[in-house]
Amino acid sequence: MGHLLRWGKAQLQAAGVETARLDAELLLGAVLDITRAQLLARIDQTVGTHQTHAYQELVARRADGEPVAYILGRREFYGREFIVDPRVLIPRPETELVVELALAHLTKRPSALVADIGTGSGAIAVTLAAERPDVRVIATDISPDALDVARLNARRHGVADRVDFRLGHLLDPVDVTADVLCANLPYVGTDEAHLLPRDVLVYEPHEALFAGRDGLTLLRELLTSLTSAHVRRGGVVLLEVGYGHGQAVVQLACQRWPREHVHLHKDLAGFDRVVEIVNVWADKQPSHSR
């Protein structure tokens, strides 16, 4: 097994894969149907011919740029395994900050309602429902295919009865007032496409990546269309933002909310990641003069 891992690592390194060792181990573990820890504990065991060929095929796919999550059909998020395939964006660890901030707010709101806009694989919606059995979630997406994957994940984690998946653009399907509104929308600018890694640009769905030339088109539209019909007074809006977009989104938010109610949170890598807005609207439509 050791020599097979060394071969896989060498193949992936030659292809320019930065996580060659980890990927080689994950792929072999998948072929043998064992965890990575079990794999490393059995490093001296022999691997059969059929399994060797299967492993070689997976390594070839990864060397060609296909993401490991799509090859395996799963990705861990907030301690849970989510089904993923090319119909949805692969959940990223930095998005867990949205979940943490939402959970912190929900501690003060029993039996709350959450709206997750642009749910994709359902990672945020399903995680919040799983973490808080008293919470109900409405999750929207413009892609029927993405919603199919999200529903699979809701059933997988036993929350399908509390997550209402709705097809539609941004807030169009939202006809209730949420305590927490989350959105991890596309935020890559088309002008930045050349900066994306090949495995992202070639394999992940472009409608889940790109939002106009500057990457802010959908966030700008969401902030413009939000009213107190969508988020109750004292509730929060949590927007994941892209690298370098934090201050721009804060400025957009401050066109409608007082600055002291708009907060920018950094992820573990120190990058601007989530803009949090504490809703202070008292009427149905906030003033545009702030």
- The matching CATH number, chosen from 3.40.50.11750, 1.10.8.10, 3.40.50.150, 3.40.50.1100, for 2-64 is 1.10.8.10
pLDDT value of residue 225: 95
Query: What homologous superfamily does CATH list for 85-278?
Result: Vaccinia Virus protein VP39 (3.40.50.150)
Query: pLDDT-based confidence at 284, cuts 50/70/90?
Result: very low
Beta-carbon-side half-sphere exposure of residue 227 (alpha carbons within 13 Å): 10
Give 172-217 pLDDT, tens digit per residue: 999 999 999 999 999 999 999 999 988 999 999 999 999 999 999 9
In sequence order, which residues have a C-beta less than 8 Å from that of residue 249 and are 6 or more positions away?
216, 219, 223, 239, 241, 275
What pTM value is reported for the model?
0.93
Q: How many CB atoms lie within 10 A of CB 109?
A: 18
Provide the pLDDT confidence category of residue 45 given band limits of 50, 70 and 90.
confident
Domain ranges of the chain: 2-64, 85-278
- For the stretch 72-93, pLDDT in tens is 999 999 999 999 999 999 999 9
**205, 115, 211: which is closest to 164 by C-alpha?**
115
pLDDT, tens digit, 9 for 90 and up, residues 114-148: 999 999 999 999 999 999 999 999 999 999 999 99
DSSP strand pairing (272-278 vs 231-240):
antiparallel
Of all residues in the chain, the percent with pLDDT exceeding 70 is 97
Q: Structure tokens of 13?
A: 């390194």
Question: Which region, left, alpha or beta, applies to residue 122 given φ > 0 means left and ψ of -120 to 50 means alpha?
Answer: left
Distances (CA, A) of 22 to 9, 17, 19, 26: 8, 10, 6, 6
**Residue 180: which residues within 8 A CB-CB, separation 6 or more?**
102, 105, 106, 109, 112, 113, 114, 115, 235, 236, 238
Give the CA distances from residue 66 to residues 98, 177, 199, 243, in Å, rounded to whole numbers and listed in that order: 27, 40, 6, 23
As given in the structure block, the two tokens for residue 11 are 């193949």
The partner residues of 266 in beta bridges, in order of sequence, read 272
Which residue's entry shows tokens 């269309």? Answer: 225
Q: Which residues pair with 236 in a beta bridge?
A: 180, 278
